[in-house]
Structure 1
């Protein structure tokens, strides 16, 4: 009987620890999307978790940012895999994927954190997998002829980052506005384009340079 109670108590503590970690990551996502330079203590306040509990799990901001990046990349990969497995048309699939990405804010967060922590080999491998899947999805919709031909994948990445940081006081915190502006963006992305865009498109190399700009200092 005592052994069963011990197992139940251990299971309860683990479940509570998982809930606390979920609150910390959710809070960190909101805090660092708004201000990547914010101190780690602000995450504890936002999560309603004591600073000692926060530091027990994440001894430094670098540790927390790596965990947040891993969580975001895994969720972004899941969104991309769902899209690539879809039997819907290329444009509808692409739209649905961008809607999920905006809701999860995973892809935009990775860009906001670029160069602000030291990535591990495992994170680098995850990022490469996400990049490969995103390129495959983008190429699929580009080949369909439904995406304007003067836009690049990196352009879309930066535009999604802009949408993701929209946050206003209120019940949904800006979610409805994020979807409003995503709908506006999708109208602009859909072919045929009314007029060519000025300047050159952003390149993947431009995004990679943000990681090398070692804000890892």
Structure 2
């Protein structure tokens, strides 16, 4: 059974909402202190349209982080459903979370707003799934037993901090360093070829050139 198509007004509201959330993610992960007007400007919508959907910056931040938690949960559950091999399950979870990039929100937005009860609930579920995935890998003897779930959480934040070049280059580099991490986490240790081209000195040094120079 297919759902009925949305009316023109509802379809436009949905498009505006997607534009607002994409813009908010970009604006606030670059500068958590940015005003909400910067989101409207980047999204190309009027400030009144934004306020009709999100009455405050706090509400917008809550929505962003709520969506991030739901994505984390979905990726974790998918990894558990798709893989029978314990290591592939854990590695699939790691790869999925890196691609989802939910930790960019954690790095920038933690402590900048008041969580709702729904956010606390979803955060608990996400944490429980992370602990379960970790426990299953350790119990299967494929993950180093001295590594904790908190270690993995901070590894995700380290990978999320890698931003070089465009989105595709950033994705390549994150997967390259994820492969290094996975080899060091695996029990017994693995030594697979690293994906993607290695970073070059020029890519690192160009970050110091002021924008517009």
Shorter-normalised TM range: 0.7 to 0.9
Query: What corresponds to 2:18 in structure 1?
Result: 22
Q: What does 1:50-199 correspond to in 2, within 5 Å? A: 50-110=46-106, 112-170=108-166, 172=168, 174-192=170-188
Asked if the contact 1:73/1:127 (under 8 Å) is kept, the reply is yes
Taking structure 2 as the reference length, what is the TM-score of the superposition?
Answer: 0.77
Identify if the C-alpha distance between structure 1 residues 193 and 38 changes in structure 2 by more than 3 Å, giving closer, same or farther. farther
Structure with more relative contact order (C-alpha pairs < 8 Å, separation 6 or more): 1
Identify if the C-alpha distance between structure 1 residues 38 and 152 changes in structure 2 by more than 3 Å, giving closer, same or farther. farther
Structure 1's unaligned 5+ residue stretches are: 1-6, 195-217
Higher mean alpha-carbon deviation, 142-151 vs 41-50, is at 41-50
Query: What corresponds to 2:210 in structure 1?
Result: none
| Alignment coverage as a number of residue pairs | 187
Query: What corresponds to 2:194 in structure 1?
Result: none
For 2:161 and 2:31, how far apart are their aligned partners in 1? 9
State the SS of the aligned residue for 1:174: helix
Question: Displacement, 1:188?
Answer: 2.0
Q: CA RMSD in A?
A: 2.4
Question: Displacement, 1:32?
Answer: 2.7
Q: Aligned pair 1:48/2:35, yes or no?
A: no
Asked if the contact 2:69/2:122 (under 8 Å) is kept, the reply is yes
Asked if the contact 2:103/2:160 (under 8 Å) is kept, the reply is no
Structure 2's unaligned 5+ residue stretches are: 191-213
For 1:173 and 1:56, how far apart are their aligned partners in 2? 37
Taking structure 1 as the reference length, what is the TM-score of the superposition?
Answer: 0.76
The one-character-per-residue Cα deviations of 1:12-36 (angstroms, maximum 9, x if unpaired) are: 2212211221222222223333333
Question: Displacement, 1:62?
Answer: 0.6
